Structure 1
């Protein structure tokens, strides 16, 4: 069985959150608060600790097992198919939304004349190939891409500081905590994307301390991005679909170096590739375990075709995508992330006590 090193696990897990998070979170948080958006990443720390706690508890209760396998162990081979099926449905829905966001972003930035369904189809080909090769390939990609992506993000933030205006911060909390808390609900939804690492099963050995590292790195990334957006764009951030992209577009060095947004687009696509690959791996392995296959590979390409079709037919347009992120998705992902693993843990431990 292929294994992920601790470094690979951390780097891949970061992009499960930040892949589409870099695109949608700044805008959706800006719909609730702009001036105090810098506080929202700090609230991710307790949220991330809750998610990490649930994942760690499940892993300790079902060592070496994936979420689907753990459900079948806790509830039995027949009844366990019900909660695991719900997890697979939510995995499919999330991957469809991630893939659709890729199409929306690329057609809005660099491929305006290309149909979205063509962009989505082309994007799923390398995703399917990476998943077919195994989780170790995804881990190696994360090990390569993450340092470059983080370095570019930090460099872009520093270069944009020449346009910073600290007055956009004031007055702090003039509208109270309600807008900040409403913005943090969206971050709470994205935090539960980390539950897909449960499907890695025996591919990772220890996750507790590594997930704490993931939470801290994501918090640091948000604490760099949100203040930068606020200082550069100010109130206009609430009306910009891709605020970080607009920040990067403001950078001009002398009279010859500009259009650095090209590097940002490349970095975002690489990050979403890792995010989509891990989610698709979770979906393919989960379906394989659910129907009793010895190997998940027969599911990879048929699952990719299903995700591609779902991204086109489930999500009509950008407005529907953003409405799901702001108002609906957090409920479904919270129910799935807390409910299924926690219920499996409780039932399994109850059965063990009865037998003892």
Structure 2
């Protein structure tokens, strides 16, 4: 079986956590303090990452869906474990909805939704069928491209003279309350707690003992990068930052050097497509692998196409527009009733049970 290197794990974790956060921005509710909200979210997210990687160390050789039967028993653990592949399919559907809304409102205005999402999911299914080996190599390609685009973006923005550090002031105008509201629970779950998807692949690494260190470093790197994106947006737009649906896309439109280098929104599209694509592929593969392990099937590949079709149907039907997609489904339903229980509460309970079984009951 192919094993991914520590470097490949680092790059896919980094790109996964950027995900759709790249184009949507982060922490608009905190206004000019969005970058502080991101840093706080990263710190809370690191605690969640430590929770997941600790569970991995306490259940050596097992993936996420195998942790629960191992600790809770078959009758309780298997039904709980099945919730995670289902959650992953739903999450891919949400990413497809993000892609649909972004593309249809920025570059392909009259393109049918089915065409946008259909083409995207076909590419995802093809890469997921190739397995973690293909995804690891894709990560190695996408990672330097993302860094290169980021560096070019920073240089061009500074050269355009549109960034004004004074726009970051006043810092903590409304205190820590709005920052904390952004960071907990939304900021720590998206994108950091979502990294539970990657626990399906930690057993496929060449050096499992390095998973915790590599994942923590990737989390810090992605968190700092998102915070710096917020700083750029706020330094250009000031308080208007919170009113943009796609702040990074709008930010790149501000680049203007000598009436020659202008309107580089295509960078924003490339950011979004590359990170959303890798994140979706990893999540589809995690769902397929999870169902395969829970049902005892020999190969996950036969599940890739059905999983992709279900994700496409979800992406087409879960919401009619961007407002319903984000403000109704995500903030009112998914975050409090799905993500918090499955990404925070259940893993915390699992850690306690595992600790008691291995330390207390064993004695």
Return the TM-score normalized by structure 1. 0.94
Alignment correspondent of 2:53: 56
Q: Which digits, 9 at most, give the CA deviation of each residue in 1:284-306, with x for residues without a partner?
A: 10111122211111100010000
Runs of 5+ unmatched residues, structure 1: none
Q: Say yes or no: does 1:340 pair with 2:346.
A: yes
Q: Which digits, 9 at most, give the CA deviation of each residue in 1:34-66, with x for residues without a partner?
A: 221121122133212211211111111111211
Offset at residue 178 of structure 1 (A) = 1.4
1:36 counterpart SS class: helix
Alignment correspondent of 1:181: 180
CA distance in 1, matches of 2:74, 2:225: 41
- The answer (yes or no) to whether the contact 1:97–1:315 under 8 Å persists in 2 is no
- The answer (yes or no) to whether the contact 1:51–1:194 under 8 Å persists in 2 is no
Offset at residue 78 of structure 1 (A) = 3.2
Alignment correspondent of 1:203: 204
Alignment correspondent of 1:114: 111
CA distance in 1, matches of 2:245, 2:348: 36
CA distance in 1, matches of 2:215, 2:333: 26
Alignment correspondent of 1:152: 149
- The answer (yes or no) to whether the contact 2:30–2:179 under 8 Å persists in 1 is yes
- Given the alignment, which residue of 209, 212, 231 partners 1:227? 231
Alignment root-mean-square deviation, CA: 1.8
- Given the alignment, which residue of 299, 304, 317 partners 1:300? 304
Q: How does 1:119-158 map to 2 (within 5 A)?
A: 119-158=116-155
Q: Say yes or no: does 1:105 pair with 2:111.
A: no
User: Would the alpha carbon gap of residues 278 and 244 (structure 1) be closer, same or farther in structure 2, given more than 3 Å must change?
Assistant: same
Alignment correspondent of 1:5: 5
2:109 counterpart SS class: coil
Name the count of aligned residue pairs.
353
User: Would the alpha carbon gap of residues 177 and 300 (structure 1) be closer, same or farther in structure 2, given more than 3 Å must change?
Assistant: same
CA distance in 1, matches of 2:249, 2:70: 46
User: Would the alpha carbon gap of residues 178 and 292 (structure 1) be closer, same or farther in structure 2, given more than 3 Å must change?
Assistant: same
Q: Which digits, 9 at most, give the CA deviation of each residue in 1:192-231, with x for residues without a partner?
A: 1111111114212231101111121012202210111001
Q: How does 1:33-52 map to 2 (within 5 A)?
A: 33-52=30-49
User: Would the alpha carbon gap of residues 237 and 308 (structure 1) be closer, same or farther in structure 2, given more than 3 Å must change?
Assistant: same
CA distance in 1, matches of 2:362, 2:189: 37
User: Would the alpha carbon gap of residues 327 and 166 (structure 1) be closer, same or farther in structure 2, given more than 3 Å must change?
Assistant: farther
User: Would the alpha carbon gap of residues 351 and 176 (structure 1) be closer, same or farther in structure 2, given more than 3 Å must change?
Assistant: closer
Q: Say yes or no: does 1:68 pair with 2:65.
A: yes
Q: Say yes or no: does 1:316 pair with 2:320.
A: yes
- The answer (yes or no) to whether the contact 1:67–1:341 under 8 Å persists in 2 is no
The answer to which of 164-173 and 14-23 deviates more is 164-173
Offset at residue 153 of structure 1 (A) = 1.4
User: Would the alpha carbon gap of residues 294 and 350 (structure 1) be closer, same or farther in structure 2, given more than 3 Å must change?
Assistant: farther
Alignment correspondent of 1:91: 88
1:52 counterpart SS class: helix
CA distance in 2, matches of 1:346, 1:180: 29
